[in-house]
Amino acid sequence: MGGEQRETGRVIRLQAGFYTVQSKDEQVICQLRGRLKKGEAEGDIVAVGDLVDFNRLPEGSGVIEEIHPRKKAFVRMDPRPRGEYQQVMLANPDQIMLVFSCTQPSPNLRMLDRFLVIAEKEGIPPVIVVNKIDLLSLEEAGEIFEMYPPLGYPLLFTTAKKGQGIEALRQRLEGKISLLAGPSGVGKTSLLNAMQPQLGLQVSAVSELTSKGRHTTSVRELFPLEGEGYVADMPGLRSLALWDIEPEELDGYFPEMRPLVAHCKFSDCTHLCEPECAVLDAVEEGSIHPDRYESYLRMRFGDVEIALQEDLDNI
């Protein structure tokens, strides 16, 4: 077709029907070719993180002609009046960085375990970043998070304030698309700024916008790193409950429980109080960490039943 030359780039921003595509050192605002919009009712056609082929229009903008198959996607099923809608939060994520501080605020391990369950469900490898290690000894900080490395979850110790661990963080992010999550106040903005001036501020500005929109659960923007790679802020932090995880599948997202479940006497064992439960046996003998088991119970039953269980224990 008359001198058209397709280029390939990555969608880094969505805004009112326009897609910003990063192509080499340039950003091109694109629209979607009409024929690609088929199937729009069932799910997002293009998401931030997608690799696309586009053609340039004479005035400098572009038209997306082709979307490359996704290696992976962070998706949510959204029930809508005319059927389920597949919302793509982020296309092609390589990892999710779960940022917590070892103190101030003291780490909320229940929240961390929830994030780990989501990462397991989505099949995206998590990395736990433990920030503010200038405020505790490395031993003390390590002890708080000691149950995670044996489960296959790597820990990265950092201090945005003193600069330790920043180079290691940079290397972890290099060449990858990374989602960033964690409670506020743990130092996400400071860490990104320590790596790359202004980056943290840009990310948190978008994050603030996103948290104001009630139903925004998709990533709005990828931020390019110097060198290669992108970071994105994970939206919908406060609506973790939205993650449709069925109670019966929860034990499958705890790597330490997964291999045991088949050994429980009852195939529908909830691992709360059933006889001959392999998970309860493992908790008792210490091979499942009590904090992790508590997180499981809270996610599965909420707080009421745990109180009940404690009552039963006291009889």
Query: Which residues of this chain interact with ligand GDP, rule CB under 6 A?
Result: 131-132, 134-135, 159-161, 184-190, 204
User: Considering CB distances under 5 to 8 angstroms, the limit depending on partner class, which of Zn ion, ligand GDP, none binds residue 279?
Assistant: Zn ion
Q: What angle do CA 22, 28, 31 make, to 5 degrees?
A: 110
For residues 66 and 284, which CB has a smaller minimum distance to Zn ion in the complex? Answer: 284
Minimum distance, C-beta of residue 282 to Zn ion, in the bound complex (Å): 9
For residues 25 and 139, which CB has a smaller minimum distance to ligand GDP in the complex? Answer: 139
Short-list 236, 147, 163, 223, CA closest to 195: 163
Residues within window 218-277 making contact with Zn ion, judged by CB under 5 A: 264, 269, 271, 277
Minimum distance, C-beta of residue 281 to Zn ion, in the bound complex (Å): 9
Minimum distance, C-beta of residue 98 to ligand GDP, in the bound complex (Å): 12
User: Considering CB distances under 5 to 8 angstroms, the limit depending on partner class, which of ligand GDP, Zn ion, none binds residue 300?
Assistant: none
Which residues, listed in sequence order, are joined to residue 26 by a DSSP beta bridge? 23
Overall residue count recorded for the chain in this entry: 315
Q: Is the peptide bond before 105 cis (omega within 30 degrees of 0)?
A: yes
Strands 230-233 and 223-224 come out as antiparallel
DSSP state of 144: H
| Sequence-separated contacts (24+) of 262-267 with Cβ below 8 Å | none
User: Considering CB distances under 5 to 8 angstroms, the limit depending on partner class, which of Zn ion, ligand GDP, none binds residue 269?
Assistant: Zn ion
Q: Can residue 89 be called a binding residue for Zn ion (CB under 5 A)?
A: no
Short-list 117, 102, 187, CA closest to 151: 117
The binding site for Zn ion (CB under 5 A) comprises: 264, 269, 271, 277, 279
